[in-house]
Amino acid sequence: MAISAVLLREAGIRGLDARLGRIRQKAAAVVTRFYGISAPAHIDYTLMSEMKAGDCVPSHADNEKRTRNGVWRPNHTPYHHCTAVLYLNTCGVDYEGGLLRFPSTQQQIIPKSGLLVGFLSNREYEHEVTRVQSGRRYSISIWVSLDSKQAEDWKAASN
């Protein structure tokens, strides 16, 4: 299950707006600083995710798709420039499986509560999430764009 953080913050949970806002901004700042992005960056989407036993995410890039004949083309979110994932619980403690893998580099990340992982959204960082074997895996994903027209509508809360 996944829900847009914009919708979640509109639920009116006291203090959630400010906490999510700080998390989004800090995560985006860390990733853009790490990759030396000097152009103005804008958070274009924030997603809160829960993965249950049996859930997985097939190998993909966040701003491109590979066609059946192996050619990469822009996907439905070509404006994603970089991605940040903040893990809210720990693999091996709260759940089993659900590892973040980068097949081209044969790297894998074992999620741990509080760990922030950032990467560019293109085919060089094609990635997958392995099948969750048991428990529930929680994370916040934040995508950053260099296109100001794609900025997520994150207005100050009225509550």
DSSP structure string for 3-47? EEHHHHHTT--TTHHHHHHHHHHHHHHHHHHHTT--S--EEEEEE
* pLDDT tier, 156 (very low <50, low <70, confident <90, very high otherwise): low
pLDDT at 29 over 90: yes
- Per-residue pLDDT at 100: 98
Residue 139: give its domain's CATH number: 2.60.120.620
| 159 belongs to a structural domain | no
Establish if 158 belongs to a structural domain: no
Average pLDDT, the chain: 93
In a domain, 155, yes or no: no
Cβ contacts of 5 within 8 Å, gap of 6 or more: 20, 24, 46, 47, 48, 140
The answer as to whether 125 is a domain residue is: yes
Q: Answer yes or no: is 99 within a domain.
A: yes
pLDDT in tens, 66-112: 999 999 999 999 999 999 999 999 999 999 999 999 999 999 999 99
* Residue 156: inside a domain: no
Going by pLDDT thresholds of 50, 70 and 90, the confidence category of residue 7 is confident
Asked if the structure places residue 93 within a domain, the reply is yes
- Structural domain count of the chain: 1
Domain that holds residue 30: 2-150
157 in a structural domain: no
Q: What is the CB neighbour count within 10 angstroms for residue 54?
A: 10
